[in-house]
């Protein structure tokens, strides 16, 4: 069943660039009123201007999702301004490419705050209102790195594994309540996440999927009955890893430069 964005109120984090921006533009073009959240005001304003061409009541909020105590308040503010939230898209994420022996605890905790604790707090803030209404959708954008341990990506993978486990469990808890949960597992997407200060050069040098293509896949997932969606479809890689975890670890470790 195709997803109809018309009239939907959608909160999207990480909306100033990449996948979040592409998703915001496509949903707004489909008639959704989008609430955009990100750190960079200039970039966010550009995306909002694009969205308002087709969805003039769309709004933006400049916020640092690493400031986790403020995240719940932000969610309720967006709800009040938009007149409700039908779909929460937890998309914002930061990388930390570094060998584990060189990581500092604070760096790992920073990644966890943005990639896991912020989605958790947004969800828990909005959930009582969604449950009282009897409808809503929570969309967690994880990563294939939430199902596969990737070399030099321990902090990032830990945060995305946590998001996967959280998503599966809340889907069980919310079954039959009218609240649906979607877990999105993007593969390599062509966004700024590959070129961030304070990160090693990525070892992966293969093809990357355009953000617009992945955004279209996410919107298609919103209209489906399934819980987990690989965009593009890399589930076979995850299945192969699960079939022989020791072989996967040895093969992934072989990617390290010698």
Q: Which residues carry out catalysis?
A: 156
What's the rounded Cα separation, in Å, for the pair 189 and 258? 27
Structure tokens at 69: 């105590």
- Three-class DSSP category at 257: coil
Contact 151, 256 (CB under 8 A): yes
Q: Classify burial at 107, counting beta carbons within 10 Å of its beta carbon; exposed 0-12, middle 13-18, buried 19 or more.
A: middle
Contacts made by residues 211-216, CB under 8 angstroms, sequence distance 24+: 211/18, 211/19, 211/21, 211/22, 212/22, 212/26, 214/19, 214/22, 214/186, 214/189, 215/19, 215/22, 215/23, 215/25, 215/26, 216/26
């Amino acid at each position: 069943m195709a997803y109809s964005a018309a009239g939907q109120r959608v909160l999207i984090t990480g909306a100033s660039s990449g996948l979040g921006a592409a998703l915001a533009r496509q949903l707004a073009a489909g008639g959704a009123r989008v609430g955009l959240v990100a750190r960079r005001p200039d970039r966010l304003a550009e995306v909002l201007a694009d969205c308002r061409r087709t969805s003039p009541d769309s709004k933006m909020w400049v916020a640092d999702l690493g400031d986790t105590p403020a995240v719940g308040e932000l969610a309720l503010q967006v709800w009040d301004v938009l007149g409700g939230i039908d779909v929460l898209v937890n998309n914002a994420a930061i990388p930390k490419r570094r060998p584990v022996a060189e990581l500092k605890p604070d760096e790992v905790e920073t990644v966890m705050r943005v990639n896991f604790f912020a989605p958790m707090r947004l969800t828990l803030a909005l959930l009582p209102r969604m449950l009282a209404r009897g409808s809503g959708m929570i969309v967690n954008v994880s990563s294939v790195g939430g199902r596969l341990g990737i070399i030099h990506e321990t902090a990032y993978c830990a945060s995305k594994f946590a998001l996967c486990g959280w998503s599966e469990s809340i889907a069980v808890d919310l079954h039959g309540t009218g609240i649906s949960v979607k877990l999105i597992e993007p593969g390599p997407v062509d966004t700024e996440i590959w070129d961030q200060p304070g990160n090693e050069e990525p070892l992966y040098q293969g093809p990357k999927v355009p953000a617009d293509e992945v955004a279209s896949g996410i919107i298609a997932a919103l209209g489906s009955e399934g819980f987990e969606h690989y965009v593009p479809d890399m589930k076979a890689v995850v299945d192969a890893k699960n079939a022989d975890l020791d072989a996967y670890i040895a093969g992934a470790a072989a990617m390290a430069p010698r």
